[in-house]
């Protein structure tokens, strides 16, 4: 019994509860939001998307439990095989993947579709955390310490853009930026990287397809063409406005019945607003915000630089994806099809975030053990401390 208590005691149960609450809310809202789509568009059973998401959730919880118990240092040792496999799978997708919504980003195993680019977010976080933790003595040298690891990032980023998947490319870039900032890079180098990112971003913008450019019009001028490019955002606004403070009630959305396209995926927050109101939306954002803040806190408390950077990368990934999804839903960012973490329908996304949370909870457990051991007093990594 004592061994069992020792095994489970260090885990941060507030993170586990937050994840379970978000996943439960996501299941309920997927069932509610997808009823109109499943019956009218696909002629499926009303529980079709709910059942599929439940299967992915159960599998994802198994992965979360596994990564909670698995030594995070092993990822560091397996870093290069993971990176090579990730690059090869991205190339495989470009050659043999299935095109969905004008993006060749899906691999299908029977009826089950997986988006490999989703998992690149975690792969990149592991790789950059491992490399920059080894290069702590060289981080002041821009050419030798900072630039070389970004070659792998550049390859992954270009392969993702080739699909094209602009939303995932933005998030992958954000994860790289968070880890780079927290690794001890000089501020003048940060400005240099920001300028370079701006130039690359401008180059990408100039090469966008007409369909991709139309998403900017849809985001910033949706009422210019409310029946065309702006249709999804305008109907999202109607959902959000209809909800008020407390919403119309669970299951009572009108917009999900053929008005708001794909309401169970990247625009699920609009249905939450319509049915549960501001209170429901605030609760979801608060839980996601808690996970992100707690993730950064865990990173600051960890005594191991690799674990610190990995925690920062995971927290940044969840935070950036949340901002991109919500920004698109309210018209502040172009619509890129990025799902809301733990909430939107999507097996690949759910598996990624549950696996990542297992790793974060694992790192948190190590931090808690260090706090309880009198001979191992926790110290904030001096590089992180210098930045903060």
pLDDT tier at 221 (50, 70, 90 boundaries)? confident
Is residue 340 pLDDT above 90, yes or no?
Answer: yes
The 10s digit of each residue's pLDDT in 144-165 is 777 888 888 889 999 998 888 8
Model pTM score: 0.89
Mean residue pLDDT across the chain: 84
Is residue 64 pLDDT above 80, yes or no?
Answer: yes
Pairing of strands 103-109, 112-114: antiparallel
Q: What ranges do the domains of the chain cover?
A: 2-387
What is the DSSP secondary-structure string of 160-211?
Answer: HHHTT-HHHHHHHHHHHHHHHHHTT--HHHHHHHHHHHHHHHHHHHHT--HH
Task: Give residue 127's pLDDT.
Answer: 93
The 10s digit of each residue's pLDDT in 247-268 is 999 988 898 887 888 889 889 9
Average pLDDT over residues 310-336: 92
Task: Give residue 383's pLDDT.
Answer: 45
Q: Find where tokens 């990408």 sit.
A: 204
Burial class (CB in 10 A: 0-12, 13-18, 19+), 34: buried
The 10s digit of each residue's pLDDT in 88-141 is 999 998 888 887 777 788 888 777 778 888 999 999 999 999 998 887 777 667
Task: Give residue 109's pLDDT.
Answer: 77
Average pLDDT over residues 327-341: 89
165 torsion bin: left (phi>0), alpha (psi -120 to 50), beta (else): beta
Task: Give residue 137's pLDDT.
Answer: 72
Long-range own/partner contacts, residues 93-101 (CB < 8 A, 24 or more apart)? 93/117, 93/163, 94/159, 94/162, 94/163, 97/163, 101/337
pLDDT tier at 43 (50, 70, 90 boundaries)? low
Average pLDDT over residues 309-329: 95
The 10s digit of each residue's pLDDT in 347-381 is 899 999 999 999 999 999 988 887 766 544 444 44
Average pLDDT over residues 17-28: 96
Please, are residues 98 and 104 in contact by the beta-carbon 8 Å criterion? yes
């Amino acid at each position: 019994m004592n061994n069992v208590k020792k095994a489970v005691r260090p885990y941060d149960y507030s993170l586990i509860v937050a994840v379970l609450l978000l996943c439960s809310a996501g299941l309920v809202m997927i069932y509610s939001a997808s009823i109109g789509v499943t019956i009218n568009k696909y002629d499926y059973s009303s529980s079709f998307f709910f059942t599929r998401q439940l299967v992915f959730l159960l599998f994802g919880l198994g992965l979360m439990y596994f990564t909670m118990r698995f030594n995070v240092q092993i990822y560091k040792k397996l870093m290069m095989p993971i990176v090579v496999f990730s690059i090869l799978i991205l190339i495989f997708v470009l050659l043999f993947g299935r095109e969905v919504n004008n993006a060749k980003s899906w691999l299908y195993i029977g009826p089950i579709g997986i988006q490999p680019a989703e998992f690149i977010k975690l792969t990149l976080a592991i790789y950059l955390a491992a490399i920059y933790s080894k290069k702590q003595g060289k981080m002041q040298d821009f050419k030798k310490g900072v630039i070389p690891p970004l070659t792998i990032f550049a390859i992954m980023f270009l392969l993702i853009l080739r699909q094209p998947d602009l939303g995932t490319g933005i998030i992958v870039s954000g994860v790289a930026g968070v880890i780079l900032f927290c690794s001890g890079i000089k501020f003048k180098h940060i400005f240099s990287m920001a300028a370079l990112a701006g130039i690359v971003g401008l180059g990408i913008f100039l090469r966008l397809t007409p369909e991709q450019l139309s998403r900017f019009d849809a985001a910033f001028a949706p009422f210019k063409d409310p029946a065309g490019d702006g249709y999804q955002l305008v109907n999202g606004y109607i959902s959000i406005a209809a909800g008020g403070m407390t919403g119309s009630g669970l299951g009572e959305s009108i917009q999900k019945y053929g008005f708001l396209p794909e309401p169970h995926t990247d625009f699920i927050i609009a249905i939450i607003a319509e049915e549960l109101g501001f209170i429901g939306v605030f609760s979801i954002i608060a839980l996601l915000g808690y996970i992100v803040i707690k993730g950064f806190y865990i990173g600051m408390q960890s005594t191991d630089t690799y674990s610190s950077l990995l925690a920062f990368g995971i927290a940044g990934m969840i935070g950036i994806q949340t901002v991109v999804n919500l920004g698109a839903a309210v018209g502040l960012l172009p619509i890129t099809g990025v799902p809301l973490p733990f909430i939107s329908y999507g097996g690949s996304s759910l598996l990624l975030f549950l696996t990542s949370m297992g790793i974060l909870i694992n790192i948190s457990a190590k931090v808690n053990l260090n706090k309880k051991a009198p001979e191992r007093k926790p110290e904030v990594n001096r590089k992180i401390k210098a930045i903060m």
